[in-house]
Amino acid sequence: ISGFPGTLPLVELHGLILSPPFTYRCWLVLWGILHTCPTQASVLLAQQLPQQLTSPGYPEPYLKGQESHTDIEAPEGFAVRLVFQDFDLEPSPDCEGDSVTISSRGADAIRLCGQQGSSLESPPGHREFVSSGRSLRLTFRAHSSSQNKVAHLHKGFLALYQAIAVSQPSGDSKAATTPGADPPRIQNLGQDSNYEAEQTGTPSCPSLGTWKDRQDGEEVPQCGPVCGRPVVPIARNPEASGSWRAELGNFPWQAFTSIHGRGGGALLGDRWILTAAHTVYPKDSVSLRKNRSVEVFLGHTDVDELLRLGSHPVRRVVVHPDYRQHEPHDFTGDIALLELQHRVTLGPSLLPVCLPDSETLYRRGLGGYVSGFGVENGWLTTQMKYSRLPVAPREACEAWLLQRQRTEVFSDSMFCAGDEVQRNSVCQGDSGSVYVVWDNRTLRWVATGIVSWGIGCGKGYGFYTKVLNYVDWIKRVMEGKD
């Protein structure tokens, strides 16, 4: 019945009947009160680029006594790959309580549950689950408990699912192709899944680039690359400190730059690199006399592999007008954009990061991640490393600078991160790399800061360009209006 809750029309696309993501819900009106049934079911269509699947209400704590079934279907010739990015269920002995069950036709079901003493936000063994056929079912159960009267704070799960190609070398056996291997050519799912419509209702996007056209005097909505959704989830452990080696695909936006030395940056869209202005125009007098080329490397976590892949020619460099190269103690406006000569080909190891749109992404204590190829223990690293650092209270950083009698300007266009008693793992060579946080509202990684300046590489705080203050400028430059 048209308009009835829980019904959506089928969509016909190129002669195929596709069912869009929809949910069957059961409704009951009783004495003027609307109730929902505790069991829900939904069907999702997997595509090449990972999409998010969450437990009901995520990231808010889930309710007891509910159950949901989700069937994920892939197109013909594809299988479904599932990876958990966040897994937080109430612990129970022998999985007798809350659980997630993964099942696929022709394979034994796998049951996951909260483990006693496990840390929050730790995915179940960093495992990936691949369907034996073209469909996979995920069942989430939150059992009722008469003994547990108090509200719990477990938020459920966040998983990424995608369609991966399968091949049949001989007989009936099927081998799944996963990112990171050397797969056969992955089929096209009808449109390039690395791109998405920037306005609701756009039927498809071109295979390359952002486009705009006019038909009968009307502008066609633009298409842009999908941002902030890495194929390989970042292992988020709020209790850990230090730095870790990044896996290929963890930070697919990370750029390695070589201008006046080693630096970093982040891919925006498929043609722009966001970085710090001081990597292009350093504040030290020695570098002022040097006329260096601008080299940008993308798509890997190993420096030797990046060099083998080759640099991406830079068409132009745009530095923010507030940046003052001859003022060594003021890093206001420490932001720059590098436009590449050619658009890059997006894939699992090369995807853009998102830009911020809210002050809530800068709240104190919020954990963020910095990746890069900077100095570690006095040596230049050959592998991409990453660290987790919390957004620090502004007053704490001001007091820390005052105690050390520092004269650097800490303006409103900056923020600080780290901890006074823990070692700051950001060091020389990381300049220009971005500080990213997870946005629970959009379910994407967002670049809120750019590594700008600090006092040595020991314990203490690091200072970052606040990207939110420059979003309008970034968009004007990328659109050719500045």
DSSP string, 146-214: SS--SPP---EEEEEEEEEEEE-SSTT--EE--TTS-PPPPPP-SS-TTEEESSTT-----SSS----E
Residue 329 known to be catalytic: no
**Active-site residue, from 122, 243, 349, 431:** 431
Last residue of a domain, one of 146, 167, 188: 167
Is 449 within a domain? Answer: yes
Is 207 within a domain? Answer: no
The pLDDT tens digits along the chain (482 residues) read: 333 333 333 333 333 333 334 333 333 332 233 333 455 778 888 887 778 899 988 888 888 888 899 999 988 888 898 988 888 888 887 778 889 999 988 778 888 888 654 443 344 655 778 888 889 999 999 887 645 444 568 888 888 898 887 654 333 333 343 333 333 222 222 334 455 544 433 333 433 333 333 334 444 444 567 899 888 877 655 555 678 899 999 999 999 999 988 999 999 999 999 999 999 999 875 555 455 789 999 999 999 999 999 999 999 999 999 999 999 999 999 999 999 999 998 888 999 999 999 999 999 999 999 999 987 766 678 899 999 999 999 999 999 999 999 999 999 999 999 988 777 678 888 999 999 999 988 889 999 999 999 987 767 899 999 999 999 999 999 998 87
Is 195 within a domain? Answer: no
pLDDT, residue 33, reads: 32
Residue 143 known to be catalytic: no
Last residue of a domain, one of 167, 187, 216: 167
CATH code of 433's domain: 2.40.10.10
The number of folded domains in the chain is 2
Structure tokens at 59: 């990231």
Residue 334 known to be catalytic: yes
Is 399 within a domain? Answer: yes
**Active-site residue, from 98, 270, 334, 439:** 334
Q: List the alpha helices (DSSP H) in 221-353.
A: 277-280, 285-288, 303-309
- Looking at the fold, whether 150 and 256 belong to one and the same domain comes out as no
Is 461 within a domain? Answer: yes
pLDDT, residue 189, reads: 29
| 182-201 confidence digits (pLDDT tens) | 332 222 223 344 555 444 33
CATH code of 15's domain: 2.60.120.290
Is 223 within a domain? Answer: no
Where are the extended beta strands (E) located within 311-373? 314-319, 336-340, 367-372
pLDDT, residue 315, reads: 95
Is 225 within a domain? Answer: no
- Looking at the fold, whether 294 and 440 belong to one and the same domain comes out as yes
Record the pTM: 0.60
Is 312 within a domain? Answer: yes
Residue 155's domain spans which residues? Answer: 11-167
pLDDT, residue 367, reads: 92
Could you give the maximum distance between any two Cα atoms of the chain, in Å? 80
- Looking at the fold, whether 270 and 392 belong to one and the same domain comes out as yes
Last residue of a domain, one of 167, 191, 213: 167
Q: How many other CB atoms are there within 10 angstroms of residue 90's CB atom?
A: 20
pLDDT, residue 88, reads: 86
Contact status, residue 432 vs residue 369, Cβ threshold 8 Å: no
- Looking at the fold, whether 277 and 401 belong to one and the same domain comes out as yes
**Active-site residue, from 278, 300, 312, 320:** 278
